[in-house]
Amino acid sequence: MLCIFNDSNDAYFNMAVEEYVFTHFCDDVFMLWRNEPAIIVGLFQNSLAEINLDYVNEKKIKVVRRLTGGGAVFHDLQNLNFTFVESNSNGNFRTFTQPIIEVLNNLGVDARFEGRNDLMIDGRKFSGNAQCVSNGRMLHHGTLLFDTAMTDMSNALKVNPLKFEDKAVKSVRKRVTNISEHLKSPMTVLQFSDLIMKHIMDTKPNCRKYEFTDEDIAAITKLRDEKYSTWEWNFGHSPKYSYSKMIRTKGGNVELHLNIEKGIITAAKIYGDFFAKRDVSDFEKLLIGVRHEKDAVADLLTKVNPEDYFLGVTSEDVISLMF
């Protein structure tokens, strides 16, 4: 088994690392890694419906889609992630998470596997896990909340469920805890990481450390730039959904309904008690074919004055209405 400590903190790069190792390596692999603040959404999720977009933009939190299903998770540098890639695996979640439980038990922490894919301490979740299979290879990965900023996590994942209607996989929120709160003696997240890596190397057969070559890094960077950092993958890959919102403006109440497919607006309908200078249906038609994304809408509004259609409604109002 190749044992890798990936010291990149770039979420786009790290998602590319997982795919590259999954699809290009023949050896079994164990890897530890961390991200700067990011939301990692499941393969089948509607990204916008999983995030607090204003907070994410304000804090410059990356939103990245992963290869596995399940719900959205928040990462920061006090969250440690682990990845197994194995051939001929039975896919047992307990098997993959058992080394983590053993390390914590050795530290005097009563960590347990519960439910379908969660690790818990005193009934509170500290790790969620997910898997995917391709060409006889299995990728299993999990989060480990070590000393994560819970306020940032809560704010970044706080979404108004009334805005979206879709069949995408929804995240299920559970009571969570940080591992650091349960340790008998304090340690850093990197010290904890070292303990896990040592345990893996001591207990798994034929382990050896591996560092990415220049060729590996070039291929991973290409995958990062062409896939994992793109709007098309992270937002355009979202399932078909409907979006609705109403706001109060100086010109009156404005209510918007959108249909979106592959991140592109396919239908728009606007209602309200505002006064119109031009036919509102003309504005609705302008929205069709536009990405449901702030920069794309802002670009449209540099070419169109909303007040031509809605008296007292500004471009800022339209942005607020659409996100």
pTM here is 0.88
Question: What does the pLDDT average to over 14-35?
Answer: 97
> Is residue 162 scored above 70 in pLDDT?
no
Q: Determine the Cα–Cα distance for residues 291 and 269; give it in Å rounded to an integer.
A: 16
Give Cβ neighbours of residue 219 (< 8 Å, ≥ 6 apart).
20, 24
pLDDT in tens, 253-290: 999 999 999 999 999 999 999 988 899 999 999 999 99
Name all domains of the chain by residue range, CATH numbers in brackets. Answer: 2-234 (3.30.930.10), 241-322 (3.30.390.50)
Rounded to 5°, angle at Cα 181 from 176 and 182: 100
Report d(CA 298, CA 307) in Å as an integer: 15
The pLDDT, as a whole number, for residue 28 is 96
Q: Read off the pLDDT of residues 170-185 as tens digits, 9 standing for 90 and up.
A: 766 678 999 999 999 9
Spatial separation of the C-alpha atoms in residues 100 and 288, rounded to whole Å: 49
For the segment 92-142, what is each residue's pLDDT rounded down to a tens digit?
899 999 999 999 999 999 999 988 888 999 999 999 999 999 999 999 999
Give me the half-sphere count of Cα atoms (radius 13 Å) on the Cβ side of residue 83. 28
Give the 3-state secondary structure of the chain.
CEEEEECCCCHHHHHHHHHHHHHHCCCCEEEEECCCCEEEECCCCCHHHHCCHHHHHHCCCEEEECCCCCCCEEECCCEEEEEEEEECCCCCHHHHHHHHHHHHHHCCCCEEEECCCEEEECCEEEEEEEEEEECCEEEEEEEEECCCCHHHHHHHCCCCHHHEEECCCCCCCCCECCHHHHCCCCCCHHHHHHHHHHHHHHHCCCCEECCCCHHHHHHHHHHHHHHHCCHHHHCCCCCCEEEEEEEEECCEEEEEEEEEECCEEEEEEEEECCCCCCCHHHHHHHHCCCECCHHHHHHHHCCCCHHHCCCCCCHHHHHHHHC
The predicted pLDDT at position 165 comes to 81
Tokens for 68, please give them: 């596995």
- Do the strands 241-249 and 124-134 form a parallel or antiparallel pair, or are they unpaired? unpaired
Q: Token pair 């000393």 is at which residue? A: 147
Residue type at position 74 = F
Retrieve residue 276's tokens. Answer: 């119109």
